[in-house]
Chain A
Amino acid sequence: MKKVYAREEYCLGCKLCEVYCVTNHSQSKDIIKAYKLEEVTSRIIVETKGAVSFALQCRHCEGSPCVKACITGAMQKDEETGIVDYDEDKCVGCWTCIMACPFGAVKRDEFGNKVISKCDLCAEEGEPACVENCPNAALIFEDREVEEVC
């Protein structure tokens, strides 16, 4: 399946991916309204230390420990698309998926709501917003059939 891969050698650590993630997952889809009127948690984690930085998001992995661990059945992996996504209405914020995800890619809602937040690869659209808006092409969206070490 197509996934988002980070190329840390080109990551600026600017976090524009977060900004566009928030915007794309907002009701208004308007960057200023998303930040000033809505409470939207970015689904990306940008790790930065010294000169190294990269964006990390759900790997939509095969084994999906989060799906297996989810106590409510809110987290599911779509068999066709491979996308791991959660049903916001079923999620009770027990954080079992946070316990289970070996990438630390599942976040708590940043505004105190008892619900998680994680990458859905912008399920409805073509290229995820983070990839589309990365100013330095440090995020790529592609299907890597063969495992690749960069």
Chain B
Amino acid sequence: MDYVIIGNSAAGIGAVEGIRRVDREGKITIISDEEYSAYSRPLISYYLADKVTQEEMKYRPDEFYNQNNVDAKLGIKVTEVNEDDKKVLLEDDEEVTYDKLLVATGGAPFIPEMKGVNKENISNFIKLDDAKAIASDIKESEAEEVVILGAGLIGLKAAEALIKKGLKVTVVELADRVLSAILDKEAADLVQEHLEEAGINFILEDTIIEFLGDEKVTGVKLKSGQELDCDLAVVAVGVKPNVSIVKGTNVEVNRGLVVNDKLETNIDDIYAAGDVSEGYDMLHEMAGVIPIWPNAYNQGLVAGQNMAGSNESYREGFARNAIGFFDLSMITAGIINPATDEYEVLIDKVEEDKVYKKIVLKDGKIVGFIYLNDVDRAGILTGLIKEQKGVEDIKNQLLADDFGYIDFDKEWRTQKLAE
């Protein structure tokens, strides 16, 4: 059995480990346009801030590929997938045939139409090469001021790293708050305040319409007319599934590659996992792209097992994030901004400690939460979401500082803890 995996990050590695759980023999080929052995993408901001070295970013030890008998073709692009002949074509014209193919190409930065966006010293912030590019731009241009477009996870991690590098940082965001995908307004305000205390300037409800300068960027012009000087810019508006590789095939693409619970696309023997895929979102009860690391790994693992002949399902997809900025940690998951009144919301806030806890319930079950600055034991809630366990009877305890297994009925608790 020949397995080909396109993509060498969480989903790709998960797939290798999944395949090897079932099939120790089959040939695995991993192809990635990045030249590095698998590394942790979330660590690129740590790398930029000189908190970790490239060596320390390795997601798996060097011997991983050998131990798992993987042929890693790194630093080379796949140019075409041929579903009929079951082969992929590489940019050096090599052909690799497959029995089972996994597309795990992740996300690609979304770059809106903006004048001058191709000038030098304008970067994305998704891959290690982006971090390296920014680091070298700073060095070469002796950059002092940066404008970041986008106050999402990526934009703010870039902002944090660049503050730590000593730059003056301004973040421009179209929405009315930071981290709008994972926080509500109240939490976002607390986070923004914290980030401002750390030195980040924010311009909300505005966006860049033009990058100024000749070759190198020297400033930006905002929609509001305001102009800002800068010698570096980061575009972090968002990420979209990196689906370009299946162009010319019959693989169904909606926002991402559409997959079923077994991570199969509509085409036989082609699977997709991770940020490129559009699987099942258990909380929204519909298909959705959930571009987060644990989801990618899990999908990869399940896809790998199924490629090797197992019959596993993955229906536990929902958004969840653990992130922190300047020692302010937050863990959020699921639905945190319920739109309708069929949801119940529990809130606890201690403003002076920047502590904010919000739990969203539907039909007596937890469907989302925000834990800000007090993240201990948040996983219990994640677990409850996954299990869809009714919590109506312990609702009043959920937000307590000492909330824990002790609040569950004894039978359930002892059964869980006896596992």
Whether A and B touch directly in their complex, counting CB atoms under 8 A apart, is answered as yes
Listed in ascending order, the chain A residues whose CB lies under 8 Å from chain B are 5-6, 8, 45, 47-49, 52-54, 56, 59, 61, 65-66, 68-69, 71-73, 89-90, 92-104, 106-108, 144, 147-150
Binary contact readout B365-398 vs A (1 if CB under 8 angstroms, 0 otherwise): 0000000000111111011101100000000000
Q: How far is the CB of B274 from chain A (nearest CB, A)?
A: 13
The residue on A at minimum CB distance from B403 is A104
Would you list 11 pairs from A and B whose C-beta atoms are within 8 A, ordered by A residue? A56-B404, A59-B417, A93-B324, A94-B322, A96-B322, A98-B331, A98-B378, A102-B380, A104-B404, A108-B376, A147-B419
Shortest C-beta distance, B70 to chain A (Å), equals: 16
Q: Which residues of B contact A92 (CB under 8 A)?
A: 43, 46, 51-52
Contacts from B to A (Cβ < 8 Å): 14, 40-43, 46, 51-52, 56-60, 293-294, 297-298, 301, 320-324, 329, 331, 333, 375-380, 382-384, 386-387, 402, 404-407, 411, 414-419
CB distance from A126 to the nearest CB of B (A): 22
A65 to B412 CA separation, bound complex (whole angstroms): 20
Q: How far is the CA of A8 from the CA of B417 in the complex (A)?
A: 11
Question: Do B383 and A103 have beta carbons less than 8 Å apart?
Answer: yes
B323 contacts across to A, CB distance below 8 A: 94
The distance in angstroms between the C-alpha atoms of A54 and B417, with both chains bound, is 10
Please name the residue on chain A nearest to B407 by beta carbon. A49
C-alpha gap A69/B299 in the complex (Å): 11
Residue in contact with A94 in the complex, picked from B57, B324, B380, B402, CB distance below 8 Å:
B324
- B380 touching A103 by the CB < 8 A rule? yes
The residue that A100 contacts in the complex, of B294, B407, B419, with Cβ under 8 A, is B294
Q: Interface majority SS on B: helix, strand, loop or mixed?
A: helix
Q: Provide the residues of chain A in CB contact with B404, threshold 8 Å.
A: 45, 47, 56, 104
The reply to whether A54 and B419 contact each other, CB–CB distance below 8 Å, is no
B48 vs chain A, min Cβ distance (A): 13
**Known: A56-B405, A107-B376. Contact between A99 and B417, CB under 8 A?**
no
Q: Are the CB atoms of B293 and A69 closer together than 8 Å?
A: yes
Residues of B within 8 A of A68 (CB): 14, 294, 297-298, 301
Check A100 against B382 for contact (C-beta < 8 Å): yes
Residues of B within 8 A of A71 (CB): 40-43, 293
Minimum Cβ distance to chain B for residue A84 (Å)? 13
Besides A98-B377, A99-B379, 8 new A-B residue pairs in contact (Cβ under 8 A), listed by A number: A56-B404, A56-B417, A68-B14, A69-B293, A73-B40, A100-B379, A104-B380, A107-B376
Max chain B Cβ within 10 angstroms of own Cβ: one of A89, A95, A144: A95
For A148, the chain B residues whose CB sits under 8 A away are 418
The 9 closest A-B pairs by CB, nearest first: A102-B383, A104-B377, A69-B294, A101-B379, A99-B322, A47-B406, A96-B322, A104-B380, A73-B59
B406 in contact with A54 (CB, 8 Å): yes
Complexed CA–CA distance, A150 and B320 (Å): 33
In the complex the two chains form, is B322's CB within 8 Å of A49's CB?
no
Q: Is the CB of B379 within 8 A of A98?
A: yes
**Contact of A104 (CB < 8 Å), options: B52, B59, B376:** B376
Q: Which residue on chain A has the smallest CB distance to residue B294? A: A69
Compute how far the CA of A44 lies from the CA of B111 in the bound complex, rounded to whole angstroms.
47
Task: List residues of chain B with CB within 8 A of the CB of A106.
Answer: 379
B411's closest neighbor in chain A, by CB? A149
**Could you tell me the distance between the alpha carbons of A101 and B386 in the complex, rounded to whole angstroms?**
11
Is A99 within 8 A of B380, CB to CB? no
The 8 Å CB contact of B418, one of A95, A99, A144, is A144
Q: What are the residues of chain A within 8 A of B406 when measuring CB–CB?
A: 47-49, 52-54
Chain A residues with CB under 8 Å of B414's CB are 8, 149-150
Q: How far is the CA of A45 from the CA of B403 in the complex (A)?
A: 12
Q: In the bound complex, what is the Cα–Cα distance between A88 and B411 (angstroms)?
A: 35
Q: Which of B14, B411, B417 has the most CB of A within 10 A?
A: B417
Chain A residues with CB under 8 Å of B380's CB are: 102-104
User: In the docked arrangement, what's the CA distance between A95 and B293, Å?
Assistant: 13
User: Quick check: B375 and A95 within 8 Å, CB to CB?
Assistant: yes
Contacts of B415 in A (CB 8 A): 147, 149
- Which residue of the partner chain A has the closest CB to B13? A73
